[in-house]
């Protein structure tokens, strides 16, 4: 009876909000301000800097790099003969990547526990990364619901950009060799993007929304933003949200090499390969990992005494409607996404202290985003009061996981009062001048609001704005 009454009250509240919003006229509707506030109460990470939030953050702010040279073993071509592996490796023009360190030591991803155990035979690597990061986030939030009502009021929103390309490569080889009977019955469940959310929901019994965004390199950010809105609109009280990716394989790297998106000049010095905003940048470094947040309705978090890292204040989206891979030269898509996040938050541009830029280390993309930041933040950026950086110098570009991991970095910047540096920034792009300059060293400062940008192929853009709860 109590549960039915709560559902009825939420439904009536939603109808009233809907009526007020649309009865004001179709041409100039008032701003919609959902009454339910969303906060971050748990964090989990698997990155090239390490497995876990603490080790990743420590190495990031100290200026360490998780990018290394790719080996033949990294290409995941176990079913191919050595000659084919060597031939494929030789043809790759980019041989550096942000690879998650694996092993049984602290700070390493334990494959025997999360990938090769009996419980994970049907899970691909990208799913295992999500399971590992989600486990850390839920433990950090001290949230392990046991009642049916709690589980029904908890959902999952975890996306990925590509899924398990290595499984597709292996299966294609079996087809070509007429060995169809050897195809695993888990092939389809291993490659489906939504199975990361599916496995997390099944492990913990979460019966709220089971959602998976797929928006290329904006996936992680969209997954978090969508989850926040589900809480705002009363669908659930808690969401486990983020992104995951495991694309360090022959076919994925070859595909990006053919599109000339990856760096090729730094194979001999991997740590210098990812150079956001630097004049010598020549493409991004492919990376892998996962970032997961526990998002929670504020009153729900207060009631159970949860610690709060930050509040989700704004979520802006836009489409370039211009080109399949390139942003428009004037950065209008990025400006729109950031503007919409700011409008929803109720904050002014000069109230944002830190921006975690999408900047991937590509010649065009970095310059366009820099111009967009300069355009939107204007005097605030020119004065040097706005701190901004791209953390991809340390971890590479994590594709579908990038937006989530960088959202975590933005939240940690608020929580610890430290803006992380941009690695390998030796000679800043000419677009910068005076005090308008990316951080080349981690900076201790008060950060009350931070913006995280994510942009993807197809012209999809997302901006998340986080703020301290006080």
Residue 413 has pLDDT above 60, yes or no: yes
pLDDT, position 20: 46
What is the arithmetic mean of pLDDT over 359-373? Answer: 97
Record: fold of 39-458: Peroxisomal Thiolase; Chain A, domain 1 (3.40.47)
Cα 403 to Cα 219: distance, rounded to the nearest angstrom: 7
Lowest mean pLDDT among 5-19, 77-91, 273-287: 5-19
Q: Is the pLDDT reported for residue 377 higher than 60? A: yes
Mean pLDDT of 350-371: 98
For 175-228, write each residue's pLDDT tens digit: 999 998 899 999 999 999 999 999 999 999 999 999 999 999 999 999 999 999
Catalytic residue among 217, 222, 300, 415: 217
Q: Give the pLDDT of residue 121.
A: 80
Answer whether residue 4 shows pLDDT above 60.
no
* Span of 120-129, 137-146, 425-434 with lowest mean pLDDT: 120-129
Chain segment 40-72, per-residue pLDDT in tens: 999 999 999 999 999 999 999 999 999 999 999
How many other CB atoms are found less than 10 A from the CB of residue 17? 16
Active site residue 257: no
Report pLDDT for 16: 45
- Calculate mean pLDDT across residues 99-113: 97
Annotation says 328 is catalytic? no
Question: Which residue has tokens 């950026």?
Answer: 381
Please check the confidence at residue 26 and state whether its pLDDT lies above 80: no
Give the Cα separation of 25 and 38 in Å (integer): 29
Lowest-pLDDT range of 4-18, 99-113, 140-154, 425-439:
4-18
| Catalytically annotated residue among 120, 300, 380, 397 | 397
Percent of residues, the chain, with pLDDT higher than 90: 89
Task: Express as a percent the part of the chain with pLDDT over 70.
Answer: 93
Tokens found for residue 422: 């941009």
- Residue 217 is a catalytic residue: yes
| Other CB atoms within 10 Å distance of the CB of residue 264 | 15
Among 199, 222, 300, 358, the active-site one is 358
> Which pLDDT belongs to residue 78?
86
pLDDT for 23 = 42
Check pLDDT > 50 for residue 172. yes
On the question of pLDDT at 170 being above 80, the answer is yes
* All structural domains of the chain with their residue ranges: 39-458
Q: What is the mean pLDDT of residues 390-415?
A: 98
Q: Choose between 459 and 33: higher pLDDT.
A: 459
pLDDT at position 12, please? Answer: 46
Task: Return the closest-CA partner of residue 366 out of 445, 436, 281.
Answer: 281
Cα–Cα nearest to 261, from 317, 325, 215: 325
**Whether the predicted pLDDT of 81 surpasses 50:** yes
Longest dimension (CA), the chain: 69
pLDDT band per the 50, 70, 90 thresholds, residue 5: low
């Amino acid at each position: 009876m109590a549960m039915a009454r709560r559902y009825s009250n939420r439904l009536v509240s939603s109808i009233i909000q809907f009526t007020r919003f649309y009865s004001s006229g179709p041409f100039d509707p008032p701003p919609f301000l959902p009454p339910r506030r969303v906060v971050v109460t748990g964090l989990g990470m698997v990155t090239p800097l390490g497995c876990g939030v603490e080790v990743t953050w420590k190495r990031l702010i100290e200026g360490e790099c998780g990018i290394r040279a790719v080996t033949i073993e990294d290409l995941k071509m176990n079913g191919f003969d050595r000659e084919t592996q060597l031939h494929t490796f030789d043809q790759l023009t980019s041989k550096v990547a942000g690879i998650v360190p694996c092993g049984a030591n602290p700070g390493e991803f334990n494959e025997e526990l999360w990938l090769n155990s009996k419980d994970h035979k049907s899970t691909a690597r990208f799913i295992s990364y999500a399971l590992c990061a989600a486990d850390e986030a839920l433990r950090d939030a001290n949230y392990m619901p046991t009642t049916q009502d709690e589980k029904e009021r908890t959902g999952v929103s975890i996306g990925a950009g590509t899924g398990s390309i290595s499984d597709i490569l292996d299966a294609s080889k079996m087809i070509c060799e007429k060995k169809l009977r050897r195809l695993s019955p888990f092939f389809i469940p291993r490659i489906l993007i939504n199975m990361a959310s599916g496995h997390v929901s099944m492990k913990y019994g979460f019966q709220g929304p089971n959602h998976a965004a797929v928006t290329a390199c904006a996936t992680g950010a969209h997954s978090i933003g969508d989850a926040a809105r589900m809480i705002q609109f009363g669908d659930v009280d808690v969401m486990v949200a983020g992104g995951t990716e495991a694309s360090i394989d022959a076919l994925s790297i070859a595909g990006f090499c053919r599109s000339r998106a990856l760096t090729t000049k730094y194979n001999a010095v991997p740590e210098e390969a990812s150079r956001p905003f630097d004049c010598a940048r020549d493409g991004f470094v492919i990376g892998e990992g996962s970032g997961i947040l526990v998002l929670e309705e504020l009153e729900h978090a207060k009631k159970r005494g949860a610690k709060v890292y930050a509040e989700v204040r704004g979520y802006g989206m836009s489409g370039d409607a211009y080109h399949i891979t390139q942003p428009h030269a004037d950065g209008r898509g990025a400006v729109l996404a950031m503007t919409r996040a700011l409008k929803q938050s109720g904050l002014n541009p000069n109230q944002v202290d830190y921006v975690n830029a999408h900047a991937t280390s590509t010649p065009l993309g970095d310059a366009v985003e820099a111009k967009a930041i300069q355009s939107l933040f204007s005097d605030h950026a020119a004065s040097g009061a706005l701190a901004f950086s791209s953390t991809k110098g340390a971890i590479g570009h994590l594709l579908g996981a990038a937006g989530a991991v960088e959202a975590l970095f933005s939240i940690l910047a608020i929580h610890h009062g430290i803006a992380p540096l941009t690695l390998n920034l030796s000679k800043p792009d000419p677009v910068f001048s005076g005090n308008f300059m990316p951080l080349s060293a981690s900076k201790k400062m008060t950060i009350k609001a931070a913006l995280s940008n994510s942009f993807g192929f197809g012209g999809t853009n997302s901006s998340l704005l986080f703020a301290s709860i006080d």
